[in-house]
Structures are given as C-alpha cells and as structure tokens.
Structure 1
C-alpha cells in the first residue's frame, strides 16, 4: 500500500454504500467519493495544509468543501452510527465504558476567526452547529481545544465531542451520556445505558454519581481528597463513603490508549481547523477508521 493510500478495500466497501449520492435532492451526483475521502484522511493523518494535498486526490478545494459539508450535514455522524450499530449487532462493543478528555494545542492558523466565549454549548446540543467560540479556549498553555470521548471497554470511541480547552470535564459528562445512542439491528430502541462507567477524579461529583445511580449504572470513579474531607467533617450528614471497584478501575486506561491512537493523526494532535465542526468531523472520521480497522 502506498503512503497516500489511506483506506483498505474492505473499509471502503463498508463505507461506500453509506455515502450520499447527490449534493442535494435533484442535484448533480457526487464524483470520486473514495479519492476525496482518502484525501481528507491523508490531510488529518499528516497535519498538512489543505493546499498541499497531493494532486492524486484531486483539487484540494473539493476535499475541503466535501469535508465541510459532511461535517455539518451529519454525513460523518450517520456513517459512524451505522458502523456502531454493526458492531453492537456482532457483539463487538464492550459496555463497560470509560470517559475522559484530551487537550490539544490550537495552531495560530486555527485561531484567526472572531470568537465569543462560552459558545460551545451550541455545538454540544446538536453537534452540527458552529459555536460562537469555535470550541477554542484560553488556558495556562495558551489557546487550546479538548476532545471528549466516551469509549467502550477496548478503548474504541462511542461518543466524540469537542469543547474549549479550559472547560471542565464534569459538566461535559451528562452531555456525553445524552449523545450515547447505539441503534439496534431489527426491533428495539437504541441502547443508551452502559453497564458501568469508569472515570478519573475529574468526574467525582455528587450529581454524576446520582445520575449513574438513578440509571442503575455502576460507577468506578475515585473520590477527590477534598470531597472526602468535607464529607467526613459533616459526620453522619455527609453521607456514605464512596466505594468503587479498584481492580475494575484499572480498565480505565483504555481511554488514554485510545487518545494515543487519535493523536497518530497529526491534524488532531494539533488543531489546524478554524471551525469546530470540521475539527470534530476529523475526530469522528478517525473513530470510523478505528472501528473499521478493529
């Protein structure tokens, strides 16, 4: 396989039937989906500027416009949902899930659009609308973006969202859970409830534990030391001590390993995209390729 060949024949055979045929109802049919898709994957894998796309992938403008369109109209999300449904039907999803985020530096080429703070909730609610802050925030390390993942027991992504780098992880947890929907082949509603959730101390909050308890989901989340001290100072009013299976918690490292695989694509390890939509689209595309590879 050449360095510019980015999809196997088997992977393309699964994706091809899911690609849209025409740009709009009654419009001109799309051409060369595989060539353009491989160009998009090559760009994120190498982190190169769109203008440096090799000629064998066709005009760079075509690759950019199609990625922008498919990120915004839900095409990547629909393909991702179909891949997950296939995996669930084959029993390949391990429903002991882990949650975490990874922070990625935003390159100066990604930060030259006007932006307002606190706009990422627009994207989180629908995953298809560009937030006013473009999911870029300022933290101690500079301008950055977070990729939030909910992964299965093997570290393969089930939910992919992006947010500003300075935002906390705990407020994102209910949003991630709301986006967990894996369709079933045949009859039945989509599966939205995992068996257990593993998270680090960033997800240690009473609200998260109550949310999981109400849904009968086992939590493997250690307690922060200051929360433990506050509870102990309150005595009997502080509630029961937090307990979790420490041996099961060791399985949380799969989400870290999953981020390592994500960052093999340099266009994700460093954000070069102006738009949160296209950056998240690249992260979803990476999730699709990981599931097809496994």
Structure 2
C-alpha cells in the first residue's frame, strides 16, 4: 500500500454495504465513498489540517462535511456495531473486558469555541449530542480531552466515548457499561454483560462494585490505600476487605496497549477538532480499522 492508501479491497468490501446511499430520502446519492473515507482516515492518521488533504482524495470540504455528517447521523456507530457483531459471530471478542481512559492535549485550534460547565457523563444520554463543554477541560497539562475505552480481552475497543480532560473516570463507568451492546448474528438479544471487568484503582468504588456484583460480573479492581484505611477505621461496619485476582489483573495492560495503537493516529493523540462529535467520530473510525485488522481485512 502507498503512504496515502488507507483501506484494502477486503476492508472496503466489508464497509461499503453499510455506507448510506444518499444524504436523505430522495436526495442526491453520495459519490466516491471510498475515496472520501480514505481521505478521512488519512487526515486522522497524519493529524494534518483538513485543507492540506491531498488532491487525490478530492475536495477537502467534501471530506470534512461527510465526516461531520457521518459522526452526527450515526453512520460510524452503525458500521462499528456491525463490525462488532461480525467479530462476535467469529468468536473474536474476549469478554473479559478492561476499562480506562487516556488524556490527550487539545490544540489551540480545537479550543476557540465557548464551553459550558455541564459534566461529561450527562452529555452521553445520546452519543451523537454535542456536549456544552465540547469535551474539553483544563487539567494539569492545560486544556485537554479524554478518550474513554471499554475494550475486550485483546485490547480492541467495544465502547468509545470522549469527555473533558479533568473529569474523573469512575463517573463515566456506568455510562460506558450502558453503551455496551453487541448484536448477535441470529436469534438472541444483544450481549451487554461481560464475564469480568478489569479496572485500575480509579474505578474502585462501592457503587461500581455493587453494580458489577448485581449483574454477576467479576470485578478485578484493586482497592486504593485510603479506602483500605477508611474501612479499617470503621471496624466491623467497614465491611469485608476487597479481594481480586492479582494474576488476572495483569491482563488489564491490554487497554494501555490499545491506547498506544489509537495514538498512532496523530489526529487522536492531539485533538485538533473543535467539536467533540467529530473527534469522537475519528476515534470510532480508528476502532473500526482496528477490528478490520483483527478480522484480517487490513494489513
């Protein structure tokens, strides 16, 4: 493949039937889907400005508008859901999942919109709703944004969300779990319950442990020292010590490796997009390409 090629013929053959035919019922049909999608992938992979898109991908305005449309109308999410269903049918999803987030610096070009004060978790009642703060917040390193992942046992994304960089991880956990739905090929409801969840100490809370226990999901989450001390001071009222499988917890590193793969796309490692909608759209598109690679459709 050349430096500007993004998708193999096999990968495009899997995606093409899932692309929308026209922008609306009775509207003009979309043209050159493959060229435009490969241009969008190229832009996020290189982190280049949209205006610097090579001419072989066509008009940069077309690429931008189509990515904005597909991020907002759910096209990328529908394609991602279909790829996950194919992966589950092929037995490629390891349901011992891990959860974490990564903080990415927001470039100055992404931060010149006014931001509200609403928190991240309330922004994801609808995945395709633009949050008031545009998922940008001020953390120790400056203005930043977070990508939150729920990944399978091999580190491939199952749920992708974004939020402001200073927001905590624990409040996003139930939101991530609520959006875990993998359709089955054939009869049966979508799968929403993993066998176990691996998380670091940021996810150690009574609410999260209760949520997992009530659903019959094994929690592989260590307890931080301050919680241990608080429980010990309460004596018998503090409850039992938290136990978890130390060996199994070592498998949590797959989510860190998954973020390393995400950040091979420079447009995700640094956020240049003003809208959380389009930045998340790029992260979902990256997840699609990672699963296509897993399914043998990309090199």
SS across alignment from 1:126: coil
* 8 Å contact from structure 2 (residues 105, 142) kept in 1: yes
Map 1:233-252 to 2 at 5 A: 233-252=233-252
1:208 is aligned to 208
State the alpha-carbon separation in 2 of the partners of residues 20 and 226 from structure 1.
52
1:172 matched to 2:172? The reply is: yes
**Structure 1 position 122, deviation (Å):** 4.9
1:96 is aligned to 96
Deviations 1:233-283 (A, max 9, x none): 111100000000000000000000000000000000000000000000000
State the alpha-carbon separation in 1 of the partners of residues 248 and 78 from structure 2.
32
State the alpha-carbon separation in 1 of the partners of residues 122 and 207 from structure 2.
22
State the alpha-carbon separation in 1 of the partners of residues 117 and 60 from structure 2.
31
**Structure 1 position 99, deviation (Å):** 0.1
Aligned length: 294
**Structure 1 position 110, deviation (Å):** 0.1
**Structure 1 position 123, deviation (Å):** 3.4
TM-score, scaled relative to structure 2: 0.97
Map 1:126-137 to 2 at 5 A: 126-137=126-137
* 8 Å contact from structure 2 (residues 121, 171) kept in 1: no
State the alpha-carbon separation in 2 of the partners of residues 8 and 212 from structure 1.
40
State the alpha-carbon separation in 1 of the partners of residues 84 and 261 from structure 2.
18
**Structure 1 position 124, deviation (Å):** 1.3
**Structure 1 position 118, deviation (Å):** 1.8
State the alpha-carbon separation in 1 of the partners of residues 123 and 133 from structure 2.
10
State the alpha-carbon separation in 2 of the partners of residues 130 and 31 from structure 1.
27
Stretch moving more, 111-120 or 38-47: 111-120
TM-score, scaled relative to structure 1: 0.99
2:297 is aligned to none
Question: After TM superposition, where is structure 1 displaced by more than 3 Å over at least 4 residues in a row?
Answer: 119-123
1:38 is aligned to 38
State the alpha-carbon separation in 2 of the partners of residues 285 and 169 from structure 1.
23
**Structure 1 position 114, deviation (Å):** 1.0
1:162 is aligned to 162
SS across alignment from 2:125: helix
1:268 matched to 2:258? The reply is: no
State the alpha-carbon separation in 2 of the partners of residues 211 and 110 from structure 1.
36
SS across alignment from 2:146: strand
State the alpha-carbon separation in 2 of the partners of residues 226 and 122 from structure 1.
28
* 8 Å contact from structure 1 (residues 122, 130) kept in 2: no
* 8 Å contact from structure 1 (residues 96, 194) kept in 2: yes
Map 1:221-232 to 2 at 5 A: 221-232=221-232
2:220 is aligned to 220
SS across alignment from 2:197: strand
1:196 is aligned to 196
1:146 is aligned to 146
State the alpha-carbon separation in 1 of the partners of residues 76 and 116 from structure 2.
27
Deviations 1:105-127 (A, max 9, x none): 00000001111122534531111
* 8 Å contact from structure 2 (residues 121, 172) kept in 1: no
Unaligned segments of structure 2, at least 5 residues: 295-299
SS across alignment from 2:158: strand
Over the aligned positions, Cα root-mean-square deviation in angstroms equals 0.7
* 8 Å contact from structure 1 (residues 44, 282) kept in 2: yes
State the alpha-carbon separation in 2 of the partners of residues 99 and 118 from structure 1.
23
State the alpha-carbon separation in 2 of the partners of residues 100 and 115 from structure 1.
25
State the alpha-carbon separation in 2 of the partners of residues 215 and 121 from structure 1.
21
Deviations 1:191-221 (A, max 9, x none): 0000000000000000000000000000000
